[in-house]
Amino acid sequence: MKKLINQPEQVVDEMLEGIIAAHPEKLKRLPGLNVVVRKEAPIKGKVGLISGGGSGHEPAHAGFVGENMLDAAVAGEVFTSPTPDQILETIKAVDGGKGVLLIVKNYSGDVMNFDMAAEMAQAEGIEVEQVIVKDDIAVDIKEDRRGVAGTIFVHKIAGTAASEGKSLKEVAQIARKTAENICSMGVSLSPSTVPASGKPGFTLNDNEIEIGTGIHGEQGMERQSLKPADQLTEEIMNNILHEMEFSPGEEAAVITNGLGSTPLMELYIVHRKAAELLKNKQIQLKKSLVGEYMTSLEMAGCSITILKLDDQLKSYLN
Amino acid sequence: MKKLINQPEQVVDEMLEGIIAAHPEKLKRLPGLNVVVRKEAPIKGKVGLISGGGSGHEPAHAGFVGENMLDAAVAGEVFTSPTPDQILETIKAVDGGKGVLLIVKNYSGDVMNFDMAAEMAQAEGIEVEQVIVKDDIAVDIKEDRRGVAGTIFVHKIAGTAASEGKSLKEVAQIARKTAENICSMGVSLSPSTVPASGKPGFTLNDNEIEIGTGIHGEQGMERQSLKPADQLTEEIMNNILHEMEFSPGEEAAVITNGLGSTPLMELYIVHRKAAELLKNKQIQLKKSLVGEYMTSLEMAGCSITILKLDDQLKSYLN
Amino acid sequence: MQLTVEALQRWIINTNEKMQENKGYLSELDQAIGDGDHGHNMARGFQEVVNKIEGNSFEEAGSLFKQVAMTLISKVGGAAGPLYGTAFLKASDEWKEKTTIDQEALGKGMEAAIAGIKTRGKAQEGDKTMLDVWGPIHAYVTTQPLQREKLKKTAKEAMEKTKEMTAKKGRAAYFGERSAEHVDPGAYSSYLVFEALAESITNEGDANG
Amino acid sequence: MQLTVEALQRWIINTNEKMQENKGYLSELDQAIGDGDHGHNMARGFQEVVNKIEGNSFEEAGSLFKQVAMTLISKVGGAAGPLYGTAFLKASDEWKEKTTIDQEALGKGMEAAIAGIKTRGKAQEGDKTMLDVWGPIHAYVTTQPLQREKLKKTAKEAMEKTKEMTAKKGRAAYFGERSAEHVDPGAYSSYLVFEALAESITNEGDANG
Ligand SMILES: Nc1ncnc2c1ncn2[C@@H]1O[C@H](COP(=O)(O)OP(=O)(O)O)[C@@H](O)[C@H]1O
Ligand SMILES: Nc1ncnc2c1ncn2[C@@H]1O[C@H](COP(=O)(O)OP(=O)(O)O)[C@@H](O)[C@H]1O
Ligand SMILES: [Mg+2]
Ligand SMILES: [Mg+2]
Ligand SMILES: [Mg+2]
Ligand SMILES: [Mg+2]
């Protein structure tokens, strides 16, 4: 394991220190907790927005704390959901009197920990709503789908809605609508290594790739041999578009997301093909995000996320 | 070689297509050339700003084309300087009558190709100035130093100066002052593979790192065994600060730059230590950039860049 | 059988020792059908529990297990944290004010714990989770006189049975039928919990005492 | 010796064939003390040159070499592109209007080419670059009657000598003294250029013709 770290037990703490050292004018850390909060929080009259999950997905989630985005992010250990006590303190720290929305990715650990925190906060009289993101179509059963890079769209759209002063009910409703209109799928070319374990999460042969791998290295749909980027992109896009109903002329936003060690050059090559395929189907590409948004440490590969837009979602995305 | 590409000969062209597909409202490509230009270019009354070099350093350079930054970027083949004819066309495309500044990294290929283009443009009556960035202190002799991540600061500061309507002479002078106040140094944990060759540029043992490696895999200062991030950061910072004259209370901007496959988590761990060391020396950290700015395909490792600020540079950086 | 508060405390300390010893193995099990952190999660959480309770003496079982539960909830994380935490929290409610736990009280505590796990995790027995150890142990505790070796055997067999099951809940569910060649890591950590319980019973003298 | 425009054209076509054949080897040399693209750069550039000149017939040497130079400049890139491009551009100036090149004209063309390389690259002979082949060849061409095998030998020896040199210019300079175990890639590609020239001379019949 060749990593720029000190002690594996310290990676999350030291990373958060680094984030604060980089942006002391915008961010603060809740004392003693693995939580990054906007410096202005709590903001009166604005719904508080919290996301979080295991670490190792940077820039998710602390990287999305800021104006028109999140008020706070809770960081668990690497690939491990954060605990309810940390989430509860975060809720308290961002509640400006208008309630708090929790943006949760659909993993049993995240769901349970955020649930417990929401119950505790509600018991203390804070209004809390949750939106569960389930965008990874590599999992068959809809209810069991994992939350992956599409979560970024929920951060952004709910963030703008909250900034406009919308109520908790309204922000939650927009966030849920966003989540329901997102499909994602990834492909992995090489595994990542959790610092504490020191061993790669899975193994792939020299010429092997895995379609549908999750962002913690969860099993995907199938192993294949390496193929040209265009072919791979087409396969992923077909899977996604098969799940979504698009009529000619409708609009979409796309994230071509790097999983950690795939060069931006390759992401643009993939994005080029994705854009071409949308065009062929007369789907209008209104917004593109190409880069690392939801990573899996140094995993190689990428994911494609499509958000189907309507006028409301589009206006909040920009 | 496991890459998300089609034909190795097509990577630059397809990447540029992807960039344009992602941002059609902001960027255009010069027909038939590997050049990305702001949609509004040429902008009357503004000095045109061009950067460029071999591909494989994404987001450099096309990723920095935009408001308050570059007007255009010229992309060579992977790790190969672009040719004078492409640069000449770019100069013509961004000259708004106030002349053009070329931001060049100090590699003999880049210097010669940009020189030739500048001569050709001057012969056609266009005013051209150049600034050569030589920030990589891993090379002993100052005149031979390579241009690496510090180039981003030159893009940004010259970009703001140009936007303010400053003359070519003024913008060039500010750009040169910036370049003279930048020192960078990198460490590599694993090599990158140029698509056309299919083989890693060098080899490192499982426990080996190389201090001072260039962004094309050029030989560094020495090979060492892997050590804790804090120790490594201290070594790099000492090397850099040894080259720069800082008095207590003076101000700095820092880029903690990922070389391609190093997770953001690790970059923040390094940045944390860099910030701490600056604090110990009573140097005020005024601006931090942490992420991938000047990469080397999927090389693992990072570089640290320090820019010494004065009031003028600081005002243009923000 | 009567377990004093001290014996219960030793149960937890003994559980921690087993988690530390089996940290690597538990994470390996989790690497096969999950994300490879279960051992680290359990070892981190139980170490904190022991840091909190060791040296302290508790008057009654309720406050001991509330402390255990709250520490697990705030230190384990992942799926295991809320589940083990909820389990011990529900048991602590049952054991409030009790200075000794007899077999009946043990059964009642486990019943509450299992109900807590089910509510929190929305899983059933047979879904290839820790429930597939807790369930059989509960059945044994409520129907037969407690014996150290029998308890161990029951836990072990239940844990081993999860190997054949297809996961329906938690990360292992993503592996679908391919999960059916591996023991569930949460079932294994629960087996360790009850192995430690069995050993506590012996420490009290006769297993039926 | 007299080289017709057609013979000169065959020289360039033959050079391209050598670049294609040695593409991998040239990049390997460059991988050792540079960035591993020299073979790809030269092969790409000379292929374009041949695409442009093959089939066309040129009236005189100047326009042929201007075409060669401009294509190299716009297709090779890196350090080699401007240097080879400038070299042939300067030579083309010398060879303007000439329908044959004799040994004297060859020497004058090379002199101009070398001056161009030096101005553009700011290098000297001994810096471990392509100049360390161009220099010795120029010396030979301007002092002795041209002979095919002798020309080849001179080029080969000059190329091999770069192995011992320490690089002072170009990417190899970063390797400092560690560059001194490897042949310079640009020297090797220049050796191929002159080997092809030698073979063109033979095609014209007697090497001294
Ligand atoms: N919904 C659930 N109900 C009961 N047990 C569950 C559930 N989800 C997961 N588990 C248990 O938790 C274990 C995994 O715990 P752990 O690895 O620590 O968390 P995570 O899956 O979040 O990484 C599984 O082996 C399983 O026994
Ligand atoms: N300043 C220079 N003067 C003369 N020749 C040079 C100079 N710099 C580089 N070269 C030659 O160019 C060769 C490298 O070319 P190439 O690999 O194509 O370009 P790059 O170094 O930009 O990747 C070197 O082997 C050397 O012979
Ligand atoms: Mg986990
Ligand atoms: Mg090169
Ligand atoms: Mg796990
Ligand atoms: Mg080269």
What pLDDT, in 10s, does the model give residues A206-255?
999 999 999 998 888 899 999 999 999 999 999 999 999 999 999 999 99
**Strand (E) or helix (H) holding D158:** helix D148-161
**Strand (E) or helix (H) holding C3:** strand C2-4
Is B61 noted as a catalytic residue in this protein? no
Domain A182-317 sits in CATH at 3.30.1180.20
What pLDDT, in 10s, does the model give residues B208-234?
999 999 999 888 889 999 999 999 999
Whether residues D74 and B199 touch (CB distance < 8 A) is answered with no
User: What mean pLDDT, rounded, does chain A reach?
Assistant: 97
What pLDDT, in 10s, does the model give residues B138-159?
999 999 999 999 999 999 999 9
**Distances B141 to B210, B211, D168 between C-alpha atoms, Å:** 19, 17, 11
What is the three-class DSSP state of D129?
coil
Q: Contact C65/C91 with Cβ under 8 angstroms?
A: yes
What pLDDT, in 10s, does the model give residues A177-191?
999 999 999 999 999
DSSP D81-115: HHHHHHHHHHHHHHTTT-SEEEHHHHHHHHHHHHH
Q: CA nearest D27: which of B44, C185, B196, B185? A: B196
Q: Return the bridge partners of A258, or none.
A: A302
Q: A25, A265, A302: best mutation site toward chain B, by most B Cβ within 10 Å?
A: A265
What is the three-class DSSP state of D79?
coil
Check whether D208 has a pLDDT greater than 50.
no
Predicted confidence band at C175 (pLDDT cuts at 50, 70, 90)? confident
Q: What percent of chain B has pLDDT over 70?
A: 100
Three-state secondary structure string covering chain A: CCCCCCCHHHHHHHHHHHHHHHCCCCEEECCCCCEEEECCCCCCCCCEEEEEEEECCCCCCHHHECCCCECEEEEEEECCCCCHHHHHHHHHHHCCCCCEEEEEECCHHHHHHHHHHHHHHHHCCCCEEEEEECCECCCCCHHHCCCCCCHHHHHHHHHHHHHCCCCHHHHHHHHHHHHHCEEEEEEEEECCECCCCCCECCCCCCCEEEECCCCCCCCCCEEEECCCHHHHHHHHHHHHHHHCCCCCCCEEEEEEEECECCCHHHHHHHHHHHHHHHHHCCCEEEEEEEECCCCECEEEEEEEEEEEECHHHHHHHC
* Mean pLDDT value of segment D83-98: 97
Q: Return the bridge partners of B75, or none.
A: B53
The whole-number pLDDT of residue C202 equals 63
Is B57 noted as a catalytic residue in this protein? yes
Predicted confidence band at D206 (pLDDT cuts at 50, 70, 90)? very low
What's the burial of D75, exposed, middle or buried (CB within 10 Å: 0-12/13-18/19+)? buried
Catalytic residue among A155, A216, A242, A271: A216
What's the burial of D55, exposed, middle or buried (CB within 10 Å: 0-12/13-18/19+)? exposed
What pLDDT, in 10s, does the model give residues C77-100?
999 999 999 999 999 999 999 999
Predicted confidence band at D65 (pLDDT cuts at 50, 70, 90)? very high
The whole-angstrom separation of Cα A278 and Cα A283 is: 5
Query: Tokens standing for D94?
Result: 């010398």
What is the three-class DSSP state of C54?
coil
Q: What percent of chain B has pLDDT over 90?
A: 96
What pLDDT, in 10s, does the model give residues A241-263?
999 999 999 999 999 999 999 99
Angle, alpha carbons D116-D45-B38 (nearest 5°): 90
Predicted confidence band at D204 (pLDDT cuts at 50, 70, 90)? very low
Amino acid (1-letter code) at residue A252: A
What is the phi/psi pair of residue B224, to 5°? Answer: -135, 175
Catalytic residue among B23, B57, B155, B271: B57
D50 Cα–ligand 4 center, Å: 22
Amino acid (1-letter code) at residue B301: G
User: What mean pLDDT, rounded, does chain C reach?
Assistant: 93
**Distances B58 to A77, A291, D137 between C-alpha atoms, Å:** 30, 10, 42
What pLDDT, in 10s, does the model give residues A271-281?
999 999 999 99
C203 Cα–ligand 3 center, Å: 35
The whole-angstrom separation of Cα D81 and Cα D75 is: 7
Predicted confidence band at D175 (pLDDT cuts at 50, 70, 90)? confident
Amino acid (1-letter code) at residue B189: L
Check whether B45 has a pLDDT greater than 60.
yes
CA distance A80 to chain C (A): 5
CA distance B198 to chain D (A): 10
CA distance A119 to chain B (A): 31
Largest Cα span, chain C: 48
What pLDDT, in 10s, does the model give residues D9-25?
999 999 999 999 999 99
Q: Ligand 1, residue C33: give the atom nearest the CA.
A: 25
Domain A10-180 sits in CATH at 3.40.50.10440
C131 CB near ligand 1 (under 6 Å): yes
* Mean pLDDT value of segment D170-180: 86
A265 Cα–ligand 6 center, Å: 20
- For β-strands A35-38 and B182-190, DSSP reports them as unpaired
Q: Does D178 touch chain B (CB under 8 A)?
A: yes
CA A253, A254, A260, A264 dihedral sign is: negative
The whole-angstrom separation of Cα C113 and Cα D61 is: 94
A82, A108, A201 ranked by CB distance to C79: nearest: A108
Three-state secondary structure string covering chain B: CCCCCCCHHHHHHHHHHHHHHHCCCCEEECCCCCEEEECCCCCCCCCEEEEEEEECCCCCCHHHECCCCECEEEEEEECCCCCHHHHHHHHHHHCCCCCEEEEEECCHHHHHHHHHHHHHHHHCCCCEEEEEECCECCCCCHHHCCCCCCHHHHHHHHHHHHHCCCCHHHHHHHHHHHHHCEEEEEEEEECCECCCCCCECCCCCCCEEEECCCCCCCCCCEEEECCCHHHHHHHHHHHHHHHCCCCCCCEEEEEEEECECCCHHHHHHHHHHHHHHHHHCCCEEEEEEEECCCCECEEEEEEEEEEEECHHHHHHHC
- Within 6 Å (CB) of ligand 2, which residues are found? B 80-81, 108-109; D 30, 34-35, 37-38, 41, 78-80, 83, 117, 121-123, 129-131, 169-171, 184-187
Residue for token pair 């009354």: B45
Whether residues A263 and B56 touch (CB distance < 8 A) is answered with yes
C77, C82, C171 ranked by CB distance to A77: nearest: C77
What is the three-class DSSP state of D7?
helix
Whether residues A109 and C82 touch (CB distance < 8 A) is answered with yes
Q: Contact C187/C80 with Cβ under 8 angstroms?
A: no
Tally of CB atoms within 10 A around D124: 13
What pLDDT, in 10s, does the model give residues D15-55?
999 999 999 999 999 988 988 899 999 999 999 999 999 98
What's the burial of B177, exposed, middle or buried (CB within 10 Å: 0-12/13-18/19+)? middle
Q: CA nearest C78: which of A278, D200, A112, D72? A: A112
Q: CA nearest A84: which of C121, C79, C82? A: C82
The whole-angstrom separation of Cα A266 and Cα A229 is: 8
What's the burial of A16, exposed, middle or buried (CB within 10 Å: 0-12/13-18/19+)? buried
- For β-strands B208-211 and B222-225, DSSP reports them as antiparallel
Angle, alpha carbons C61-C67-C70 (nearest 5°): 135
Domains (ranges, CATH) in chain C?
Answer: 3-200 (1.25.40.340)
Check whether B87 has a pLDDT greater than 90.
yes
The whole-angstrom separation of Cα D106 and Cα D134 is: 12
Check whether A140 has a pLDDT greater than 80.
yes
Predicted confidence band at C203 (pLDDT cuts at 50, 70, 90)? very low
D75, D79, D174 ranked by CB distance to B219: nearest: D174
Beta strands of C76-115 (E only): which ranges? 100-102
Q: Contact A133/A305 with Cβ under 8 angstroms?
A: no
Catalytic residue among B155, B216, B242, B271: B216
> Listing from the earlier edge strand, what are the strands of the sheet with A27-29?
A27-29, A35-38, A72-78, A48-55, A100-105, A128-133
Angle, alpha carbons C8-C13-C17 (nearest 5°): 140
Omega cis (within 30) before A61:
yes
What pLDDT, in 10s, does the model give residues D146-161?
999 999 999 999 999 9
What is the phi/psi pair of residue D19, to 5°? Answer: -65, -40
* Mean pLDDT value of segment C50-56: 94
What is the three-class DSSP state of C136?
helix
CA B100, B101, B105, B107 dihedral sign is: positive
Domain residue spans in chain A?
Answer: 10-180, 182-317
The whole-number pLDDT of residue C170 equals 84
What is this model's ipTM? 0.94
What pLDDT, in 10s, does the model give residues A268-318?
999 999 999 999 999 999 999 999 999 999 999 999 999 999 999 999 998
A84 Cα–ligand 5 center, Å: 17
The whole-number pLDDT of residue C206 equals 42
